[in-house]
Every structure is written in structure tokens, then in C-alpha cells.
Chains A and B, each alone.
Chain A
Amino acid sequence: GSPPQALVDDTEDVSLDFGSEEELALRKAKIRHPLATFFHLFFRVSAIITYLFCDWFSNSFVACFVTILLLLSFDFWSVKNVTGRLLVGLRWWNQIDEDGKSHWVFEARRVPTKAASTEAEARIFWLGLIICPVIWTVFFFSTLFSLKLKWLALVIAGISLQTANLYGYIHCKLGGQKSISRATSSFFVTADAPK
């Protein structure tokens, strides 16, 4: 028998399918990644709300501090590693080569995949990314001038974490062209295996 022959015969009978019901619904949906969108906003907004209303939740400074810090850390991690690539197809990270030099890599997705992001998602992503650091900066000045200095460390941590993500993603967005061409050229160089 000749298996390749059989395969060719099989494909002649296959009808062209432009996509199942599910895919059509996916393409029409305004928000394709509801969980990611929710979590993108959930951690940052919860951190801000906890900071503003910590007196209602608990008397203990320590509990509020730790809660807000954990929320800020989870937010930083999820925005950097998950929601960025799901909602806008961007990613940034730090890489250290063998000789110990560190450099920052900023990636932007060029090829749209099946579940690419929508306008609405991208808008939510960028609004959430920009507005929250601004709010934390406002908190910084209000804490400074009202002399509630024990909160200052937390506010500074908040500003640093959120601004880091903002800076990283803006860099990705603006520099996408350059890093993609560099990655492509390195791919071609290493794929040149001698025969």
C-alpha cells in the first residue's frame, strides 16, 4: 500500500469550512478574553479601593499594608505576563546572556492569531494601564502633604510597579518594528545549518 496516495484521495472530498459557529461568535464578540480583561482591572482597582477605604476594612495598618502590597504584586505579574500578551499582543522582559550582560527585550505580535484582540479590549488595557499610576502619584502627594508617612513606602512601591508596566508596554508599542526585525534576522542566521 502507499499511504501518501491515500491521503491525497482523502483531501479531495473535504469540504471547505470557513469556521465553526464558535469561531464566528468569537470574531464578532467585543471582548474575546473576558477573564483577562477582568483581572487586568481587578487587582489595580482593588489596590486603589483598599488604600482609600482601609479604615473601613480593618483597624490594623499591617493587614492593609500587606493586602495592598500583595494586590499590587499580583497586578504587576498578571499585567506583565498575561493580560499584555492576551489583550494587546505585547510583551516585555529582561534577559541575561551567558556573559552576564542584561538587556531588556520588547516584543510586539505581528501575525494576528485566531483569537486576536479587539478594539474594546485594547482600549480597556491602555486606559487601565495609564490611569492607575496617575492615581498613585496623586496618593503620593496627598500622603506627603498630610504627613501620613507610614504609607509612603507603600505608595512609592505602587507607583514603581505600575509605572514599570506602563513604561514597558509603551516601549513595546513604539519599538515593535525594531525588535521584530532583529528577532527575524537572528532566526535566519541560526537556521543556516551547513548541509
Chain B
Amino acid sequence: FAGLADVSISEDIPVEGEITVPVGSHSPDEDYSTLDEPVRDTIMRDLKAVGKKFVHVMYPKKSSALLRDWDLWGPLVLCVSLALMLQGGSADSKDDGGPQFAEVFVIIWFGAVVITLNSKLLGGTISFFQSLCVLGYCVLPLTVAMLVCRLVLLAGSGTVSFIIRLIVVIAMFAWSTLASTAFLADSQPPNRKALVVYPIFLFYFVISWMILTFTPQ
């Protein structure tokens, strides 16, 4: 170290460096505190994360923080609600609507998986579960449309009611598609965006179709 003896750092040079722990990793202390946190904290943390995502869907602005913290509770709740509301239609067979209910489930989850695989094959950078999370959460506007349709159908099922339902469903369908593309299309190279958007379009189109063609017994 003899060569360094005459090296001196003047007082004026600011010494800089990263003191913060990078966001991606946890220090052992932080980990063990979440390993030992009380259960209520865990539940509240997850509930708040789910609520935040619902709000984000209603006001879609690009936020990578939202994407990073994925969960599938929202899609589960939305899927179950949508499937329940699509029950009791005249298209049901004479038993208790079993196949219809499972169909909605399969369409939503299988459809979301296929879209995710499609975007990954096209070279997208988003991860599998993140994509499922976004697609699932963006079903929220359509679930709202279903609720509105059922209420409108309570009032009557004539032409006026059909027109109202058509407008509502089209508006919500556009909202869903735009919200999910706002999150998903950015993970794709620019010349592939249309190839990624059109399956999303089809997916929400099929769901919107199921909603619009629902007629009560």
C-alpha cells in the first residue's frame, strides 16, 4: 500500500454512495420482521393492496408499482360475482345451472392464460402472473355492466332496455380493453402492440357478449 501513502482526499469532494437498500431485495432484518408480524397486519396489508388495484382499474394510469405487486384475489372475486350474476338465465338447462357457471369460470381463466401465453410468445417482458392479475382486475368494468344490466332487466326487457344495456356494455367493454392495454401493451416492442391487443379485445368481447345476451327466465 506504499503507493497510496501520498493519496489524500480533500475535504471538498463529496463522497457519494447508495445507502438505501434496493427495492428489489429484503435485508434479513426486514424479512424476519415480516416473518414474525401479527396475522392481522398480513391480512390488512393484502386487503389494502387489493383495494388499491381496484381503484387503479377505475382510473387507469400507467403505474409500474401496481404491476409489481400482483395478486389474484381481485380476479377471483370478480369472476365469482360475474358467474353468479350470469345465473338464472333462460339459457340454463333444467338442472341448477351447473354447466353454465363452470363455463364462465373456464372462459375467463382459460382465456386469460391463453392471452398471457400469447404475449409471452411474442416476446413480452411481463411475467405470467402479472398479466393474469391485470386481465382479471380489468374485468371490473364489465362486472359493473352486468350489475347495471340486471337492474335494467328488472325494470323491463323491451327495446328501450336493450338499447340502454347495449350502450352500457359497449362503454364498459371499451373501458376494460383500454385499461388492460394501458398496462399490458407497454411491455411489448412497438411493432407487436396490435398483435397483443387483439386477443385482449376478443377476450373482453366474448365476456361482453355473454353479458349482453343474458335474458332472465
Residues of A within 8 A of B (CB): 59-62, 65-66, 69-70, 73, 77, 81-82, 85, 89, 91, 94-98, 100-102, 107, 109, 111, 113, 150, 153-154, 180, 183-184, 186-187, 190, 193-195
Contacts and interface: CB of A to CB of B under 8 A. Distances in A.
Contacts of A113: 36
A81 B42 contact: yes
Contacts of B67: 96, 100
A97 B64 CA distance: 10
Given A61-B96, A183-B28, A85 B21 contact: no
B7 interface: no
Contact of A190 (B22, B76, B83, B102): B22
B21 A190 contact: yes
Interface string B71-106: 001001000100110010000000111110110011
A49 B21 CA distance: 47
Chain B's interface size range is 35 or more
10 contacts: A62-B83, A62-B87, A62-B98, A65-B102, A70-B80, A81-B42, A82-B42, A85-B36, A91-B35, A96-B67
Given A183-B31, A187-B27, A62 B17 contact: no
B101 A61 contact: yes
B2 interface: no
Interface stretch (B122-130, B136-144, B155-163, B165-173): B122-130
A107 B35 contact: yes
Contacts of B20: 190
Given A73-B76, A153-B102, A94 B32 contact: no
Contacts of A193: 17, 19
B101 A183 contact: no
Given A91-B35, A113-B36, A193-B17, A62 B130 contact: no
B17 A100 contact: no
B127 A96 contact: yes
B87 to A, nearest CB: 6
Interface in B103-148: 105-106, 125-130
Contacts of B99: 150
Contacts of B44: none
Contacts of B29: 187
B39 interface: yes
B23 interface: yes
A98 to B, nearest CB: 6
A190 B35 contact: no
Contacts of B31: 91, 107, 183
Contacts of A154: 102
A69 B80 contact: yes
Nearest to B69: A96
Interface string B18-50: 111111111111011001100100100010000
Contacts of A150: 98-99, 102
Given A102-B127, A109-B35, A111-B32, A62 B84 contact: yes
A153 B97 contact: no
Nearest to A180: B28
